[in-house]
Amino acid sequence: MNDHDGFLRIAHSPCPNDTFIFHAWSHGLLPGAPQLNVSFADIDVTSQLLAERGFDLLKISAAALPLAQRAGYQLVHAGSAVGRGCGPLLLTRQDTDTAQLSTLRLAIPSLHSTAFRLLRGWMAQELPAGFTSTVEMPFERIMPAVASGEVGAGLVIHEARFTFADLGLHQVVDLGVWWESVTGLPVPLGVIVARDDTADSFGLDQLAQWCRESLRHAWAHPEVSRDYIAEHADEMSPEVQQQHIDLYVNEFSESLGEEGQRALEVLLNGPV
């Protein structure tokens, strides 16, 4: 077994779904599991960390899985963010018809995000001309940039689906609804990957089991993780925190299963 200094380094987002899933493991509540050393980085950043190979475990965008595999990481079949009714949204400042979108500048969270991959599939069908230009920016900046007119349209993820109307923004398309209508599959948003030496040392099944046990502890004792979740949830209200967990934590987080794996395959290999 390789020496991991008694702990595993993990980077995942500070979003409620990830802090909910990993609270028990990161707080030493899983007998026999190695200690987790947690770094918080949003999903648009973690794909950039792959090449450094400094983390044993990373939560990355599902669309970045090929990058992870090339960097020597392997898929862990638990801890994922996969589901229905939880897809990214394309937003504009004003109510805009599809034809007008090609005159706008678009902000996206990452070129390697599931959100952008879904958008490309949708554009191939509905907006072949594309946008005038595309700019990457941290996801929390995208809605303010649309609202201020810095960009004409924004591709948003996470809790933005609960709060975009508060900024007076308009939804052009729910890309999760589009994806489900085309494929019949849930949307694969984020997955856990393990560095190859970590996978060899502990086994992918064991790593998935610790993810699973941590999640089950959170489901059984939701009050235990509440303060930890709130501490890292920025200015999200308790209601939005719970909506976030309810939407992004589900049976696919416990195990990808055949349907979750199929969704990943279709996302990465077509037909969209």
Low-confidence ranges of the chain (pLDDT < 50): 1-2
pLDDT tens for 252-264 read 999 999 999 999 9
Write down the catalytic residue from 77, 112, 158, 217: 158
Q: How confident is the model at residue 229, as a pLDDT?
A: 97
Domain boundaries, the chain: 7-84+187-269, 89-183
Q: How confident is the model at residue 271, as a pLDDT?
A: 60
Percent of the chain with pLDDT over 70: 97
Q: How confident is the model at residue 107, as a pLDDT?
A: 97
pLDDT tens for 40-51 read 998 888 988 999
pLDDT tens for 13-31 read 999 999 999 999 999 999 9
Matching fold, domains 7-84+187-269 and 89-183: yes
User: Which CATH code, of 3.50.50.60, 3.40.50.300, 3.40.50.2300, 3.40.190.10, is assigned to 7-84+187-269?
Assistant: 3.40.190.10
User: What's the 3-state SS for the chain?
Assistant: CCCCCCEEEEEECCCHHHHHHHHHHHCCCCCCCCEEEEEECCHHHHHHHHHHCCCCEEEEEHHHHHHHHHCCEEEEEEEEEEECCCCCEEEECCCCCHHHHHHCEEEECCCCCHHHHHHHHHHHHHCCCCCCEEEECCHHHHHHHHHHCCCCEEEECCCHHHHHHHHCCEEEEEHHHHHHHHHCCCEEEEEEEEEHHHHHHHCHHHHHHHHHHHHHHHHHCCCCCHHHHHHCCCCCCHHHHHHHHHHHCCHHHHCCHHHHHHHHHHHHHCCC
Q: How confident is the model at residue 1, as a pLDDT?
A: 37
Residue 158 annotated among the catalytic residues of the structure: yes
Question: For 89-183, CATH number?
Answer: 3.40.190.10
